[in-house]
Chain A
Amino acid sequence: MNIELSELTRRFGRTDAVAGVSMEAGPGVLGLLGPNGAGKTSLLRMMATVLPPTSGRLQLLGRDPGRHGPRREIRRRLGYLPQNLGYYPGFTVAEFVEYFALLKDMPPGRVPRAVATAIEQTGLGEAARAKLRTLSGGMLRRAGIAQAIVNDPELLLLDEPTAGLDPEQRVAFRALLRGFGERATVVVSTHLVEDVGAACGQVALMDAGRVAFRGTPDELIARGEGSGAAGDAPLERGYSAVLASVRSVPGTGARA
């Protein structure tokens, strides 16, 4: 298993952003769904080793990220796209991707080809030498995805990766995700259930810091059938049905 979480929590003041999540994931694409404030980003940041957990157990790629050596090894094999992508406005796309290839400790000799491959995979070839300050929101998002995949990660964590992408780019991106999912563990946090239906083999639906549902997209669809839950698409109805059932049990919030 590339991800092993056991009773993982993260508290900010009095708020439990993540309230005891236990989950395992191997190769494949896992979609992380949930309403705003459900704890998706905090969970992803803990898996990206950016945010330490308050309690619980976290193992990534078979290693303990709380220890220096294993943490560095995890980070070498990790790709991460944060929800709010920070960037250096004066860098070109190629410089930005190269910067993170170097920070990920890639052998310098492999960097130029890896950078070119990542840029081509995200369809940014024509903008490779454009300054980041000149790019549209969708192109910036793709530059962020390019830096995340430049090291051919074994664990790829993407927070709202399709925000700002047009439908054509979104379709291409889903194909890219499926390709990565064949050899790596990909976790995608998203609000867009159609992304989950098209690219994810597994779904985890979070609410109030807990995993309320874990299964395949088809199983989530099945939860919505005949429930009368709101939604324009089967996955949306499944999503609504799970949240409604979890919230209808007083005092329990959500269950795993």
Chain B
Amino acid sequence: MTDDVDLSRVWTGVAAEVWRRRPGLAERLAARLLRSPGLARALVTTPSLLLGWMIATLAVLAAGAVATRSTGTPYVALFAPAVAGAGIAYAYGPGLDPAWELTQSTAVSDRMVLLVRALAVFGLNAAAGLAAAAACGMAAAVTFGWLVPMTAVCALALAAATVSRSPNVGVAAGMTGWAITVLATRTAAGELTAAVTYSSLVLPYLAFAACCGAVAWYATRIPRGAS
């Protein structure tokens, strides 16, 4: 037995306890679900899941709901894909994550971070959009009709953002693509909601989303270089 105490070691133990961060409920659930505390931490730092962004998303959808109720035109169905596309483009990438270069050198896969963040943003936007659509009392075809086009717009925004390595390009691509689709289908079918209500568009939307997903997957592959 010795009376010597390694004060440095004791202090480090105390400091570890004092400085230890208590993760929130969402992070604890994500860590359990993803089986990776690092991935869970990366998820809760998603720029487009931060409070300010979420408030902005809800504000746009609420404005859409008010406009829908007052005019009868389902603006929620038209806004939701664009808002979700922007959120996806702003989920991960250089210029968004201040410590992106550092993150690139860590063991948690970039692709997994991107995938998990994109899925979370998509899920939350879909839930918020559905709630807004339900609050307007829209027809079922319109209430759910925008989910497939939203998938395509999100995939387009993701592909553009990953290929160009610029979230702004992703947002621009998603919004422009969706605006062109709405205007083109309106011109062809004569009604503003054709882009979300015509069942014949479902397969093209899904095929387009799959292609964009493949592009994003390729753009985020591990650059092998020569080794």
Contact = CB atoms under 8 A, between A and B. Distances in A.
Contacts of B15: 116, 119-120, 125, 128
Interface stretch (B59-67, B106-114, B150-158): B106-114
B19 A119 contact: yes
A86 B105 contact: no
Contacts of B225: 46, 52-55, 58, 66
Contact of A103 (B17, B20, B101, B108): B108
B106 A104 contact: yes
Contact of A120 (B12, B36, B222, B227): B12
Given A54-B226, A65-B227, A119-B15, A88 B99 contact: yes
B19 A112 contact: yes
Interface stretch (B37-45, B138-146, B190-198): B37-45
Interface string B1-27: 000000010011101110111000000
B227 A64 contact: yes
Nearest to A53: B225
B102 interface: yes
A95 interface: yes
Given A86-B99, A104-B38, A116-B12, A66 B224 contact: yes
Contacts of A125: 15
B107 A104 contact: yes
Contact of A82 (B17, B102, B106, B227): B102
A100 B106 contact: yes
Given A88-B99, A112-B17, A49 B226 contact: no
Given A95-B21, A113-B16, A119-B19, A80 B107 contact: no
A113 B106 contact: no
A88 B100 CA distance: 10
A120 to B, nearest CB: 6
Contacts of B224: 52, 66-67
Interface-centre pick from B100, B104, B109, B227 (highest chain A CB count, 10 A): B227
Given A54-B226, A103-B38, A128-B15, A80 B102 contact: yes
Given A65-B227, A103-B106, A105-B108, A86 B16 contact: no
B41 A99 contact: yes
B101 A82 contact: yes
B13 A113 contact: yes
11 contacts: A48-B105, A50-B104, A58-B227, A82-B101, A85-B99, A86-B101, A102-B38, A103-B38, A111-B37, A116-B19, A120-B8
Interface of B: 8, 11-13, 15-17, 19-21, 36-38, 41-42, 45, 97-109, 222-227
